[in-house]
A and B are shown apart, each in its own frame.
Chain A
Amino acid sequence: MSNQSPSDGSTARIGRTPMPEQDPKVRARNFKEVPLGFTPDMAMREASRCLHCKKPLCREGCPVGVPIPDFLALVAKGDFAAAAEKVKETNALPAVCGRVCPQENQCEGRCLLGKKFEPVAIGRCERFVADYQRETGRISVPKKAASNGQKIAVVGAGPSGLTVAGDMILAGYEVTLFDALHKPGGVLMYGIPEFRLPKAIVEAEIASLEKLGVEIRCNSLIGKTITVDELIRDEGFDAVFVGVGAGLPTFLGIPGEDLGNVCSANEYLTRSNLMKGYRFPEYDTPVIRGKNVCVVGGGNVAMDAARSALRLGADTVKIVYRRSEAELPARAEEVHHAKEEGVEFLLLTNPIELLGDDRGQVRAMRVQKMELGEPDASGRRRPIPIPGSEDEFDTDLVVIAAGSRANPVLTHHTENLELSKKGYIVATESGRTSKPGVWAGGDIVTGAATVILAMGAGRTASKDMDTWLKSGKEGWL
């Protein structure tokens, strides 16, 4: 074992510890996790690169303020269980965040070391300690406050809802977690593929919530099966948290989009992940196994769809994205992995039409080349079509990953809930909605964002909920 003292900085200049990974050729055909994780030695070596800055910028970059230098110091000492506890002070799902956070824009993006050398691999260390704790069974059971008899309903079992459920059960409330699907987890279960986030990890987190006493009611579409108003009025819930995510797929609005074998990334990934379509016919739900697949979009969702397509046996997979590489919104690591695995990137390319065969199934995509003009409202340079640059290629499966909108089922069946023009729930900084006793957070408030932001919103809301309930439901907005 390496024995560097944690803060002398002498190891800072040594390169970032590489993460062992499955070979790209092999992994592009299986659904096993791609990065294999640090060994204890690797984690200690990497953590000891941290300079323990007086003003840790990394921590400012983390939306939930994980005490990064403190936990890294514990890792460097080899006290992994204590390090995991340290992370969990502010982040309930480190095994998830260590894997899926866009670290380059968050903690690692701000790391001082990154200015001259490579940033500390904070995410990988976080993942390591969480895995270590889970795999060695050294999870200390958190202390639960004495039961106060008040009831909390959490709607949506994605990262925001899971966070609220965990916080509130520990604070002594009775918590019921509702989800529309037959399995809790939200995007962590139905969206992000196994090769990036093994479902066993999500299941373990949910099992620990159940062990703490959270009651999980799946197959409950709030707004249809039962409404928010009924939860409060008839079922006696004292407060409700709404974390239903942004699960309404956006389509492109181009001709041919309703042909067969054209699907949203949500459909494709739900079939493959949640329904285990990748194991069809052992599981009954099929997923289209395209030979020449086109995925439209450049975010994490697009990368997940493209890499799933390879694993489902495609010969070629193209990412069609209308801006340039610099604007790709996906995590850098996912883009890198996708390229290594053989996904082709058709950048500055926009689909304009899908063509069908005589059975009404897609057979080709027509595209147009783009160039970047002036920055638009989002601050990114606006893509402008280049006249005469049309091109066409064959495809037998088109997956559209062009973003999502607010799902209207809950919001349209809840009285007096203020929505934005785009249909998202309007909430204050602490998550209060226009409806007393109802909080909201995560993608249904912000629009599609990240796991850690959804968790952060859940944490903020549960603190405020606790205060409001302890104050005897005093005041609202």
Chain B
Amino acid sequence: MIPIVSNRELAPNIYEMVVENRILARRARAGQFLIVMPDDHGERIPLTIADYDVEAGTVTMVIMAIGTSTRKLVKLGPGDSLYAMLGPLGNASEIENYGTVIMVAGGVGAAPIYPIARALSEAGNRVITIQGSRNKGLLFWVDKLASVSSEHIITTDDGSFGRKALVTEPLRELLEKETVGCVYTIGPAIMMKFCAETVRPFGVRTIASLNSIMIDGTGMCGGCRVRVGGETKFTCVDGPEFDALAIDWSIATARQKSFCEAEKCSLDRYIELNGTK
């Protein structure tokens, strides 16, 4: 059982949860994820390691409550514990000095991008962060991201904060005027795909962190497979980061749809048993 240290709402439906897990904290590297089970009837779901503190022995996750499992998770707080947690999983980000790096984060993607931006910044990169959100209210970790970025651009779909634009607009502008060594993109699949398309003509190395549906997270089930550069890869052991320009995005998104009906059925039942929240 994994004790929960704290849980607070960062933005509507987005929570920051800190848990105690000494072994995991010691091992964790930027870019890796973990698998949690809220309770013994729960699913195993993947979440990025958004931060970790070796001394305190804690690990931070940022969770967007969308379905049954994430709602179950965000309901828990200090005094509660998680049934199971496995990690760190996946490969750590390759932290090199690329010169200038652009980090594009969409929505809850701000959380996973933070430790990578921090590591890249510590490695001497000039880090430019583009943080996109639907509206002002959904923004979180703005200061945290700014603290590891030389430049921090915020876009909102409705213009309620920062620039009214999609993340791809400042991305294109930056690529036009700067020499960029690498682009990172983490967020909804559709956003990552459009980022990839934006960068493609510039030929800059682009890395996306995929959020495939997973079960074991250890390479055993093959459920998380994606096509990258014409080859089948398992996100949990070969990823989660891949060359965004080589990912077959249509397959990646289609494979996320297989459980739509079941997810809805599960959520309806959850709401019926627990009330709306």
Per-position contact with A for B207-220: 1 when CB-CB < 8 Å, else 0?
Answer: 00000000110111
Question: Are B86 and A264 closer than 8 Å at their CB atoms?
Answer: no
Closest to B72 in A: A284
User: A182: which of B37, B69, B248, B263 is its contact (CB, 8 Å)?
Assistant: B37
Question: Are B216 and A284 closer than 8 Å at their CB atoms?
Answer: no
Measured in the bound complex, the distance between the Cα atoms of B225 and A267 in whole Å is 11
A388 interfacial contact with B, CB 8 Å:
no
Measured in the bound complex, the distance between the Cα atoms of B156 and A80 in whole Å is 74
B198 interfacial contact with A, CB 8 Å:
no
B-facing residues in A340-364 (Cβ within 8 Å):
356, 359-361
Measured in the bound complex, the distance between the Cα atoms of B223 and A359 in whole Å is 18
A-facing residues in B7-44 (Cβ within 8 Å):
23-24, 27, 37, 41-44
Measured in the bound complex, the distance between the Cα atoms of B269 and A181 in whole Å is 27
A259 interfacial contact with B, CB 8 Å:
yes
Per-position contact with B for A102-126: 1 when CB-CB < 8 Å, else 0?
Answer: 0000000000000000000000000
Question: Are A282 and B41 closer than 8 Å at their CB atoms?
Answer: yes
Point out the residues of chain B lying under 8 angstroms from A356, CB to CB: 254
Question: Are A182 and B254 closer than 8 Å at their CB atoms?
Answer: no
Closest to B251 in A: A258
Per-position contact with A for B179-223: 1 when CB-CB < 8 Å, else 0?
Answer: 000000000000000000000000000000000000110111111
User: Chain B interface: which of A24-32, A136-144, A193-201, A217-225?
Assistant: A217-225
User: B263: which of A180, A218, A224, A286 is its contact (CB, 8 Å)?
Assistant: A286
Point out the residues of chain A lying under 8 angstroms from B232, CB to CB: 251, 257-258
Question: Are A280 and B262 closer than 8 Å at their CB atoms?
Answer: yes
Point out the residues of chain A lying under 8 angstroms from B222, CB to CB: 248-249, 251, 263-264, 266-267
A408 interfacial contact with B, CB 8 Å:
yes
B163 interfacial contact with A, CB 8 Å:
no
Question: Are A284 and B266 closer than 8 Å at their CB atoms?
Answer: yes
* Size range of the chain B interface in the assembly: 35 or more
User: B69: which of A248, A263, A284 is its contact (CB, 8 Å)?
Assistant: A284
Point out the residues of chain A lying under 8 angstroms from B167, CB to CB: none
B160 interfacial contact with A, CB 8 Å:
no
B27, B226, B258 pick with most chain A CB within 10 angstroms: B258
B87, B219, B221, B253 pick with most chain A CB within 10 angstroms: B221
Closest to B221 in A: A267
B227 interfacial contact with A, CB 8 Å:
yes
Question: Are B42 and A284 closer than 8 Å at their CB atoms?
Answer: yes
A299 interfacial contact with B, CB 8 Å:
no
A295 CB to closest chain B CB (Å) equals: 15
B-facing residues in A222-281 (Cβ within 8 Å):
224-226, 247-249, 251, 257-261, 263-264, 266-267, 270-271, 275-276, 280-281
The 25 sampled A-B contact pairs (Cβ below 8 Å) are A180-B218, A182-B86, A218-B84, A219-B84, A221-B218, A225-B23, A225-B27, A249-B222, A259-B251, A266-B220, A266-B222, A267-B223, A280-B266, A284-B41, A284-B69, A284-B72, A285-B42, A285-B43, A285-B215, A288-B262, A359-B254, A360-B251, A360-B253, A360-B254, A409-B219
